[in-house]
Amino acid sequence: MRKILIAGNWKMHKTSQEAVELINGLKRELADIQTVDILVCPPFTNLSEAADIIIDSNIALGAQNCHWEKEGAFTGEVSVPMLKSVRCTYVIAGHSERRKYFAESDEVVNKKIKAIKDAGLKPIFCLGETLEEREENKTFSVIETQLTGGLKDLKQDDLKDLIIAYEPVWAIGTGKTATPQQAEEVHSFIRKLLKEKFSSIVSDGLRILYGGSVKPDNTKDLINKEDIDGALVGGASLKVDSFSQIVKNSLG
């Protein structure tokens, strides 16, 4: 059985004070939840204080990005060992906003996934097609290219802690969610690819999250699909009420 994971990607939101309020509110609201994994991914500037607040709680901490080198002359970048030192256990790699605005290629995403894994953290590997690609019936080939590139040179054992997030770019921040059927179709395709490229141990065990305008009222229908194992939530993760409600609506 794959445990449901609900992850909040705060993107570039929240000052220090706002982050403390949000994380305290979530800790209070979600204290009793044990059957779902809960994760928050605040901006780098809030990680340390978030880690102090959620210590010994049921909420895990993740970062939204990383550099693939351990250290060096890379002004403005943050490495995985640095993230580990502030108690992050997950790191997002390959979010479509990074691919689009910061020109992250599959090769770069692959390096990041390897760095995250090598440090013993859990990569959340994002992939997804644009609207144009979907309309040109390229969804499956785009997903296959991103998956193959992002997981290049990795072996079955390397994928133990990996999580995939399918995020159709046209559904991110647009209020336009993929229907549960549309999402399931791609999730099961990803699982099939994982089986072909690795093994059924990988394809059966690996969690695949859906992301793109997840809200409290569409959570249940998405999570109920066989191959959807949770959600990566952007906008609705910025408020205690909506994120808590998404977590609660994902309970079996």
Site for ligand PGA, rule CB under 6 A: 9, 167, 172-173, 211-214, 232-236
By the 8 A CB rule, do 18 and 233 touch? no
Which residue's CB comes closest to ligand PGA? 234
What tokens does 168 get?
A: 């159709």
CB of 72 to ligand PGA, least distance (A): 29
By the 8 A CB rule, do 98 and 67 touch? no
H-run or E-run covering 29: helix 16-29
Task: Name the catalytic one among 67, 167, 184, 187.
Answer: 167
Give backbone dihedrals phi and psi of 206, rounded to 5 degrees, phi first. -75, 135
What does the alpha-carbon distance between residue 40 and residue 7 come to, in Å, rounded to a whole number? 6
95 among known catalytic residues: yes
CB of 214 to ligand PGA, least distance (A): 5
CB of 166 to ligand PGA, least distance (A): 11
Closest CA to 186 of 162, 211, 161: 211
| Location of structure tokens 């290049």 | 152
Q: Helix, strand, coil: what percent of the chain each, to 5?
A: 45, 15, 35
Helices 16-29 & 240-249, crossing angle to 10 degrees?
A: 30
CB of 172 to ligand PGA, least distance (A): 4
**C-beta closer to ligand PGA: residue 15 or 174:** 174
29 among known catalytic residues: no
**C-beta closer to ligand PGA: residue 9 or 110:** 9
**C-beta closer to ligand PGA: residue 203 or 219:** 219
Cβ contacts of 68 within 8 Å, gap of 6 or more: 80, 108, 111, 112, 114, 115
What tokens does 125 get?
A: 């590997």
Fill in the DSSP letter of residue 102: S
**C-beta closer to ligand PGA: residue 206 or 236:** 236
CB of 197 to ligand PGA, least distance (A): 25
**C-beta closer to ligand PGA: residue 79 or 242:** 242
Collapsing DSSP to helix, strand or coil, 61 comes out as strand
Instruction: Supply the residues annotated as catalytic.
Output: 95, 167
